[in-house]
Amino acid sequence: MSDETLLSFCIPTYNFGEFIGETLASIVPQMEDNMEIVIVDGGSTDSTEEIVSGFQKMYPNIYYHKFEQRGGIDRDMALSISLAKGKYCWLFSADDVLKRGAVAKLLSKTEGGIDVYLVGLTLCGLDVDTVLSEHFFSAIQTDMVVNLSDEKERLSYFENARTTTAFFSFMSSLIIDRKKWKESSVDERFYGNCWTHVVRLFNMIPQGLKLKLLPESYMRKRGDNDSFMEHGAVHRAAISIDGFHDMGKTLFGEDSKEAFHFRRVVRNELSAPVLLAKKAKARNREERRQLNQLAQKNFSDPSLKNRLSYALYSSIPTFTLPLLQKIWRLKRFIKT
């Protein structure tokens, strides 16, 4: 490896042995001598260590750090960056797959003064060869530099956001200037909400935060494998709704335009039909009660659309949901 490491792939993982081999196989052929892969394993009990070891024999620039227990995604993600040496750190999930030529394409678009690069992605099934759709997280569909420290540019960017990916939720889309990351910090209370990296990045705004948007797809995101789902669909909804409501309020103020757009993109992802599908999966009365509270919070911004969305969610009886799900799946099948 050359004295100066240009790019570090930072991969936090736990029990993704089934997938991490495919992830590494997509990255390794694109690596140069001045690049590395840093893996933080929170105590996997599956085949992760053996699979990574096999890749290390072929490619020594893979650094594997296994710990006795999980630190949680927030801490393990931050730890992977702290162990890296690259000028840039590409956060990457241990089950996603990098597209061919993605590294060379990214490096051809790097420039001085950029703190974060946000790249596009393709949504896939559990088998990443099953392509579902491109993920358009912003109405902006051309490469663009945005100064998020400038209020006018920031609000324009926020207004064009379609999903939480535009606000850094999806880690595999993020390439970060490591020096700038180290200069930022985050309040301890955010650890455990799964979005600590989002807070840390937006905390750069007072010192200057320049984003380069690269909406073309650089990777395939594996679907039906959301690690945040381990405690159920209702808990997963709470991570998004509670998390983004709290972050918007803390970072920008509850009544700010920025906080509104944080809430808006969550509604785009968790619409009334999506929440109804989660209600159908609720395991007991308590989960349904929690989901009802989340839905009320999700649609709390005053507008006709939100009132109608909440009315739709509230008015459909729970016992009809399995039938409606079957009809919805049939409708989607006919369309395809």
pLDDT at 64 over 70: yes
The CA distance from 272 to 35, in Å, is 44
**CA 98 to the chain's CA centroid:** 15
pLDDT per position as a tens digit, 169-198:
999 999 999 999 999 999 999 999 999 999
Q: What pLDDT score does 294 carry?
A: 98
The CA distance from 106 to 120, in Å, is 11
> With bands split at pLDDT 50, 70 and 90, how would you rate the model's confidence at 332?
low
pLDDT at 325 over 70: no
pLDDT per position as a tens digit, 28-51:
999 999 999 999 999 999 999 999
> With bands split at pLDDT 50, 70 and 90, how would you rate the model's confidence at 229?
low
Top-confidence residue, 259 or 329: 259
pLDDT per position as a tens digit, 272-313:
999 998 888 888 999 999 999 999 999 999 999 999 999 999
Q: What pLDDT score does 336 carry?
A: 47
pLDDT per position as a tens digit, 240-272:
999 999 999 999 999 999 999 999 999 999 999
Q: What pLDDT score does 2 carry?
A: 47
> With bands split at pLDDT 50, 70 and 90, how would you rate the model's confidence at 333?
low
For 13-27, 67-81, 243-257, which range has the lowest pLDDT when averaged over its residues? 67-81
| CATH (residue range 7-225) | 3.90.550.10
How many helices and strands, by DSSP H and E, does the chain display? Answer: 13, 10
Q: Where are the domains positioned within the chain?
A: 7-225, 229-335
The CA distance from 202 to 251, in Å, is 7
Helix (H, G, I), strand (E, B), or coil: what is residue 41?
Answer: strand
Q: What pLDDT score does 106 carry?
A: 98
Q: Mean pLDDT across the stretch 147-166?
A: 99
**CA 296 to the chain's CA centroid:** 24
Helix (H, G, I), strand (E, B), or coil: what is residue 193?
Answer: coil
Q: Mean pLDDT across the stretch 149-156?
A: 99
